[in-house]
Structure 1
Amino acid sequence: MSSMNQSSYQKILATVPSNEEGLLAAVGQDTDASAQWSSGLCNCCSDAPLCCITCWCPCITFGRIAEAVDDGKTSCIASGGIHALLTYMTGCGWIYSLAYRYKIREQYMLGSSPFQDCLAHFCCERCALCQEYRELQLRDSTLSSTGEKKPGVEVVPVPPTQMTR
Protein backbone atom coordinates (compact mmCIF):
# COMPACT_ATOMS: atom_id res chain seq x y z
CA MET A 1 0.00 0.00 0.00
CA SER A 2 2.84 2.37 0.76
CA SER A 3 4.35 1.71 -2.68
CA MET A 4 1.06 2.74 -4.24
CA ASN A 5 1.04 6.04 -2.33
CA GLN A 6 4.68 6.60 -3.15
CA SER A 7 4.11 6.12 -6.89
CA SER A 8 1.16 8.54 -6.86
CA TYR A 9 3.32 11.13 -5.11
CA GLN A 10 6.03 10.64 -7.71
CA LYS A 11 3.48 11.21 -10.49
CA ILE A 12 2.26 14.39 -8.82
CA LEU A 13 5.78 15.68 -8.31
CA ALA A 14 6.66 14.93 -11.93
CA THR A 15 3.81 17.15 -13.15
CA VAL A 16 4.71 20.14 -10.97
CA PRO A 17 6.06 22.96 -13.18
CA SER A 18 9.51 24.22 -12.28
CA ASN A 19 9.22 27.85 -13.34
CA GLU A 20 7.36 30.68 -11.65
CA GLU A 21 4.90 31.29 -14.50
CA GLY A 22 3.96 27.62 -14.53
CA LEU A 23 3.40 27.65 -10.77
CA LEU A 24 1.22 30.76 -10.98
CA ALA A 25 -0.78 29.22 -13.82
CA ALA A 26 -1.16 26.00 -11.83
CA VAL A 27 -2.77 27.82 -8.92
CA GLY A 28 -4.95 29.89 -11.24
CA GLN A 29 -3.24 33.27 -10.90
CA ASP A 30 -2.67 35.55 -13.86
CA THR A 31 0.98 35.79 -14.90
CA ASP A 32 0.39 39.30 -16.28
CA ALA A 33 -0.81 40.62 -12.92
CA SER A 34 0.01 44.20 -12.14
CA ALA A 35 2.86 45.12 -9.84
CA GLN A 36 2.39 46.48 -6.34
CA TRP A 37 3.54 49.85 -5.01
CA SER A 38 7.09 49.61 -3.70
CA SER A 39 6.12 51.13 -0.35
CA GLY A 40 2.96 51.50 1.64
CA LEU A 41 0.83 54.60 1.92
CA CYS A 42 1.83 55.11 5.55
CA ASN A 43 5.59 54.76 5.05
CA CYS A 44 6.02 58.53 4.85
CA CYS A 45 8.83 58.73 7.40
CA SER A 46 11.07 56.29 5.54
CA ASP A 47 12.50 59.34 3.74
CA ALA A 48 12.64 62.11 6.35
CA PRO A 49 13.56 65.05 4.05
CA LEU A 50 10.77 64.14 1.63
CA CYS A 51 8.33 63.72 4.51
CA CYS A 52 9.14 67.16 5.93
CA ILE A 53 8.90 68.92 2.57
CA THR A 54 5.62 67.20 1.74
CA CYS A 55 4.17 67.86 5.18
CA TRP A 56 4.79 71.60 5.11
CA CYS A 57 4.49 72.29 1.38
CA PRO A 58 2.93 69.47 -0.64
CA CYS A 59 2.93 71.61 -3.76
CA ILE A 60 6.74 71.20 -4.02
CA THR A 61 6.54 67.41 -3.97
CA PHE A 62 3.64 67.48 -6.40
CA GLY A 63 5.56 69.73 -8.79
CA ARG A 64 8.47 67.27 -8.74
CA ILE A 65 6.11 64.37 -9.40
CA ALA A 66 4.43 66.17 -12.31
CA GLU A 67 7.77 67.07 -13.86
CA ALA A 68 9.08 63.48 -13.53
CA VAL A 69 5.89 61.84 -14.84
CA ASP A 70 5.67 64.20 -17.82
CA ASP A 71 9.41 63.74 -18.60
CA GLY A 72 10.20 67.42 -18.08
CA LYS A 73 7.43 68.68 -20.39
CA THR A 74 5.65 70.14 -17.39
CA SER A 75 7.52 72.60 -15.22
CA CYS A 76 7.91 71.79 -11.54
CA ILE A 77 7.19 75.42 -10.64
CA ALA A 78 4.08 75.67 -12.84
CA SER A 79 2.57 72.40 -11.63
CA GLY A 80 3.40 73.16 -8.01
CA GLY A 81 1.93 76.66 -8.35
CA ILE A 82 -1.32 75.37 -9.83
CA HIS A 83 -1.51 72.76 -7.07
CA ALA A 84 -0.90 75.41 -4.41
CA LEU A 85 -3.60 77.69 -5.83
CA LEU A 86 -6.12 74.88 -6.06
CA THR A 87 -5.29 73.62 -2.58
CA TYR A 88 -5.23 76.91 -0.68
CA MET A 89 -8.00 78.69 -2.60
CA THR A 90 -10.54 75.91 -3.12
CA GLY A 91 -9.28 72.89 -1.16
CA CYS A 92 -9.43 70.79 -4.32
CA GLY A 93 -5.74 70.40 -5.11
CA TRP A 94 -6.09 66.72 -4.34
CA ILE A 95 -8.10 66.29 -7.56
CA TYR A 96 -5.21 67.66 -9.62
CA SER A 97 -2.67 65.42 -7.90
CA LEU A 98 -5.02 62.44 -8.25
CA ALA A 99 -4.71 62.72 -12.04
CA TYR A 100 -0.97 62.18 -11.74
CA ARG A 101 -1.44 59.16 -9.48
CA TYR A 102 -3.51 57.63 -12.29
CA LYS A 103 -0.68 58.40 -14.73
CA ILE A 104 1.90 56.76 -12.46
CA ARG A 105 -0.32 53.73 -11.99
CA GLU A 106 -0.80 53.33 -15.74
CA GLN A 107 2.85 54.04 -16.59
CA TYR A 108 4.20 51.38 -14.22
CA MET A 109 1.15 49.06 -14.27
CA LEU A 110 0.68 49.36 -10.52
CA GLY A 111 -2.15 47.54 -8.86
CA SER A 112 -4.83 49.64 -7.27
CA SER A 113 -8.35 50.76 -7.97
CA PRO A 114 -9.53 54.24 -8.90
CA PHE A 115 -11.58 54.29 -5.71
CA GLN A 116 -8.52 53.54 -3.55
CA ASP A 117 -6.53 56.23 -5.37
CA CYS A 118 -9.30 58.78 -4.87
CA LEU A 119 -9.64 57.87 -1.21
CA ALA A 120 -5.87 58.10 -0.67
CA HIS A 121 -5.67 61.59 -2.13
CA PHE A 122 -8.84 62.87 -0.48
CA CYS A 123 -8.09 61.56 3.01
CA CYS A 124 -4.30 61.72 3.19
CA GLU A 125 -2.90 63.53 0.18
CA ARG A 126 0.50 64.12 1.75
CA CYS A 127 1.01 60.40 2.35
CA ALA A 128 -0.09 59.64 -1.23
CA LEU A 129 2.34 62.23 -2.61
CA CYS A 130 5.21 60.74 -0.58
CA GLN A 131 4.33 57.25 -1.80
CA GLU A 132 4.22 58.40 -5.43
CA TYR A 133 7.54 60.22 -5.20
CA ARG A 134 9.20 57.22 -3.53
CA GLU A 135 7.89 55.04 -6.36
CA LEU A 136 9.33 57.41 -8.94
CA GLN A 137 12.67 57.42 -7.05
CA LEU A 138 12.76 53.63 -7.12
CA ARG A 139 11.97 53.38 -10.81
CA ASP A 140 14.05 56.39 -11.92
CA SER A 141 17.39 56.20 -10.15
CA THR A 142 18.25 59.79 -11.13
CA LEU A 143 15.72 61.32 -8.70
CA SER A 144 16.91 62.26 -5.23
CA SER A 145 14.82 63.10 -2.19
CA THR A 146 15.65 66.78 -2.72
CA GLY A 147 14.21 66.70 -6.24
CA GLU A 148 17.51 67.19 -8.02
CA LYS A 149 18.83 64.87 -10.70
CA LYS A 150 21.85 62.81 -9.69
CA PRO A 151 24.69 63.37 -12.15
CA GLY A 152 26.13 60.53 -14.17
CA VAL A 153 23.39 58.01 -13.44
CA GLU A 154 21.88 56.17 -16.36
CA VAL A 155 18.11 55.67 -16.25
CA VAL A 156 17.14 52.02 -16.57
CA PRO A 157 13.41 51.38 -16.15
CA VAL A 158 12.49 48.48 -13.88
CA PRO A 159 9.95 46.12 -15.47
CA PRO A 160 7.00 45.38 -13.19
CA THR A 161 7.73 41.64 -13.25
CA GLN A 162 11.02 42.19 -11.38
CA MET A 163 9.40 44.11 -8.52
CA THR A 164 8.91 42.34 -5.22
CA ARG A 165 5.37 41.75 -4.17
Structure 2
Amino acid sequence: MCPNNANAYAKSAPPAPPQYPLTAPHQLSNGGTPVQWSTGFITCFCPCITFGQVAEIVDKGTTSCAVAGLIFCALASVGCECLYTCTYRSKLRGLYSLQEDPCADFLVHCCCTSCAICQEYRELKNRGADPSIGWQGNVESWNRGGSTVPPVVVPGMAR
Protein backbone atom coordinates (compact mmCIF):
# COMPACT_ATOMS: atom_id res chain seq x y z
CA MET A 1 0.00 0.00 0.00
CA CYS A 2 1.37 3.41 -0.87
CA PRO A 3 1.81 6.07 1.85
CA ASN A 4 -0.92 8.33 0.40
CA ASN A 5 -3.55 5.59 0.68
CA ALA A 6 -2.48 4.83 4.25
CA ASN A 7 -2.89 8.50 5.14
CA ALA A 8 -6.34 8.64 3.56
CA TYR A 9 -7.39 5.55 5.51
CA ALA A 10 -6.09 6.96 8.79
CA LYS A 11 -8.09 10.15 8.26
CA SER A 12 -11.34 8.31 7.49
CA ALA A 13 -11.11 5.63 10.16
CA PRO A 14 -13.24 6.35 13.22
CA PRO A 15 -11.40 7.03 16.46
CA ALA A 16 -11.05 4.11 18.84
CA PRO A 17 -13.61 4.16 21.66
CA PRO A 18 -12.26 5.20 25.06
CA GLN A 19 -11.37 2.32 27.35
CA TYR A 20 -13.18 2.39 30.69
CA PRO A 21 -12.58 0.06 33.60
CA LEU A 22 -15.42 -2.33 34.34
CA THR A 23 -15.55 -1.16 37.96
CA ALA A 24 -14.19 1.72 39.92
CA PRO A 25 -11.12 0.85 42.01
CA HIS A 26 -12.97 1.34 45.31
CA GLN A 27 -15.60 -1.19 44.22
CA LEU A 28 -13.09 -3.98 43.59
CA SER A 29 -12.19 -4.48 47.25
CA ASN A 30 -15.63 -5.27 48.67
CA GLY A 31 -14.50 -8.77 49.60
CA GLY A 32 -16.93 -10.42 47.19
CA THR A 33 -19.98 -9.21 49.12
CA PRO A 34 -22.92 -8.69 46.75
CA VAL A 35 -24.14 -5.11 46.44
CA GLN A 36 -27.39 -3.62 45.10
CA TRP A 37 -27.78 -2.66 41.46
CA SER A 38 -27.52 1.08 40.92
CA THR A 39 -30.85 1.10 39.04
CA GLY A 40 -34.04 -0.87 39.46
CA PHE A 41 -35.82 -3.40 37.25
CA ILE A 42 -39.33 -2.57 38.44
CA THR A 43 -40.51 -0.85 35.26
CA CYS A 44 -40.70 -4.15 33.41
CA PHE A 45 -43.15 -5.61 35.94
CA CYS A 46 -44.87 -2.53 37.32
CA PRO A 47 -44.45 0.44 34.97
CA CYS A 48 -47.18 2.37 36.77
CA ILE A 49 -44.78 3.09 39.65
CA THR A 50 -41.96 4.40 37.48
CA PHE A 51 -44.41 6.37 35.36
CA GLY A 52 -45.99 7.88 38.48
CA GLN A 53 -42.56 8.98 39.71
CA VAL A 54 -41.74 10.59 36.35
CA ALA A 55 -45.13 12.31 36.15
CA GLU A 56 -44.78 13.78 39.65
CA ILE A 57 -41.41 15.35 38.80
CA VAL A 58 -42.47 16.59 35.36
CA ASP A 59 -45.61 18.16 36.84
CA LYS A 60 -43.54 19.65 39.69
CA GLY A 61 -45.65 17.99 42.33
CA THR A 62 -49.09 19.01 41.05
CA THR A 63 -49.78 15.39 40.08
CA SER A 64 -48.87 12.82 42.71
CA CYS A 65 -47.07 9.60 41.92
CA ALA A 66 -50.07 7.62 43.20
CA VAL A 67 -52.64 9.46 41.07
CA ALA A 68 -50.55 9.21 37.90
CA GLY A 69 -49.87 5.53 38.60
CA LEU A 70 -53.57 4.79 39.14
CA ILE A 71 -54.52 6.56 35.91
CA PHE A 72 -51.82 4.54 34.14
CA CYS A 73 -53.27 1.28 35.56
CA ALA A 74 -56.81 2.18 34.58
CA LEU A 75 -55.80 3.01 31.02
CA ALA A 76 -53.51 -0.04 30.79
CA SER A 77 -56.44 -2.28 31.70
CA VAL A 78 -58.08 -1.29 28.41
CA GLY A 79 -54.78 -1.15 26.49
CA CYS A 80 -54.47 2.57 25.86
CA GLU A 81 -52.00 3.83 28.50
CA CYS A 82 -49.77 5.23 25.75
CA LEU A 83 -52.38 7.95 25.13
CA TYR A 84 -51.60 9.25 28.62
CA THR A 85 -47.91 8.43 29.00
CA CYS A 86 -46.88 10.06 25.73
CA THR A 87 -48.13 13.42 27.02
CA TYR A 88 -45.53 13.32 29.79
CA ARG A 89 -42.80 12.56 27.28
CA SER A 90 -43.90 15.69 25.40
CA LYS A 91 -43.88 17.74 28.62
CA LEU A 92 -40.39 16.48 29.50
CA ARG A 93 -39.13 17.33 26.03
CA GLY A 94 -40.59 20.81 26.43
CA LEU A 95 -38.92 21.32 29.80
CA TYR A 96 -35.46 20.52 28.47
CA SER A 97 -35.81 21.35 24.76
CA LEU A 98 -35.25 17.72 23.79
CA GLN A 99 -35.72 16.51 20.23
CA GLU A 100 -38.71 14.38 19.34
CA ASP A 101 -36.56 11.36 18.64
CA PRO A 102 -36.46 8.63 17.30
CA CYS A 103 -40.06 9.33 16.24
CA ALA A 104 -43.21 11.00 17.55
CA ASP A 105 -43.80 10.72 21.30
CA PHE A 106 -47.01 8.77 20.76
CA LEU A 107 -45.24 6.19 18.56
CA VAL A 108 -42.38 5.78 21.05
CA HIS A 109 -44.87 5.01 23.81
CA CYS A 110 -47.01 2.76 21.60
CA CYS A 111 -44.00 0.70 20.50
CA CYS A 112 -42.49 0.24 23.95
CA THR A 113 -44.04 2.09 26.85
CA SER A 114 -41.68 0.58 29.43
CA CYS A 115 -38.58 1.53 27.43
CA ALA A 116 -39.85 5.09 26.97
CA ILE A 117 -40.64 5.44 30.68
CA CYS A 118 -37.17 4.13 31.60
CA GLN A 119 -35.54 6.64 29.25
CA GLU A 120 -37.55 9.50 30.74
CA TYR A 121 -36.67 8.39 34.28
CA ARG A 122 -32.94 8.29 33.39
CA GLU A 123 -33.19 11.70 31.71
CA LEU A 124 -34.56 13.21 34.91
CA LYS A 125 -31.82 11.49 36.96
CA ASN A 126 -29.14 12.79 34.59
CA ARG A 127 -30.52 16.31 34.96
CA GLY A 128 -30.35 16.32 38.75
CA ALA A 129 -33.75 15.01 39.85
CA ASP A 130 -34.36 11.74 41.68
CA PRO A 131 -37.87 10.60 40.74
CA SER A 132 -37.82 7.90 43.42
CA ILE A 133 -38.02 10.50 46.23
CA GLY A 134 -40.83 12.56 44.68
CA TRP A 135 -41.11 16.26 43.98
CA GLN A 136 -41.04 17.42 47.60
CA GLY A 137 -38.05 15.20 48.38
CA ASN A 138 -36.16 16.71 45.46
CA VAL A 139 -37.01 20.26 46.49
CA GLU A 140 -35.74 19.54 50.02
CA SER A 141 -32.60 17.91 48.64
CA TRP A 142 -31.90 20.84 46.32
CA ASN A 143 -32.46 23.32 49.15
CA ARG A 144 -30.12 21.43 51.53
CA GLY A 145 -27.44 21.34 48.87
CA GLY A 146 -27.68 25.07 48.36
CA SER A 147 -28.76 24.59 44.78
CA THR A 148 -32.03 25.30 43.09
CA VAL A 149 -34.24 23.29 40.82
CA PRO A 150 -32.35 22.29 37.65
CA PRO A 151 -32.73 25.04 35.06
CA VAL A 152 -35.49 24.79 32.52
CA VAL A 153 -34.50 25.77 29.00
CA VAL A 154 -37.34 27.33 27.05
CA PRO A 155 -37.00 27.15 23.26
CA GLY A 156 -36.78 30.44 21.48
CA MET A 157 -35.47 32.47 24.40
CA ALA A 158 -32.64 34.79 23.43
CA ARG A 159 -30.72 37.60 25.07
2:64 is matched with which residue? 75
Which structure shows the higher helix fraction? Answer: 1
Task: Give 5+ residue unaligned stretches, structure 1.
Answer: 1-45, 161-165
2:108 is matched with which residue? 120
Instruction: State the distance in 1 between where 2:56 and 2:103 align.
Output: 25
TM-superposed deviation, 1:98: 0.3
Amino acid at match of 2:120: E
- CA distance 1:73–1:138, shift in 2 (3 Å): same
- Paired residues, number: 110
1:157 is matched with which residue? 150
Amino acid at match of 2:60: D
User: For 2:121, which of 133, 142, 148 is the aligned residue?
Assistant: 133
TM-superposed deviation, 1:156: 4.7
The percent of aligned pairs where both chains have the same amino acid is 44
TM-superposed deviation, 1:107: 1.1
User: For 1:48, which of 39, 42, 54 is the aligned residue?
Assistant: 39
Instruction: State the distance in 1 between where 2:87 and 2:46 align.
Output: 19
User: For 2:74, which of 85, 93, 117 is the aligned residue?
Assistant: 85
Alignment partner of 1:58 is 2:47: yes
1:104 is matched with which residue? 92
Contact 2:51 2:117 in 1 (8 A): yes
Instruction: State the distance in 2 between where 1:159 and 1:74 align.
Output: 19
Secondary structure, in 3 states, of the residue corresponding to 1:48?
A: coil
- Select the structure with the greater relative contact order (CA < 8 A; seq sep ≥ 6): 1
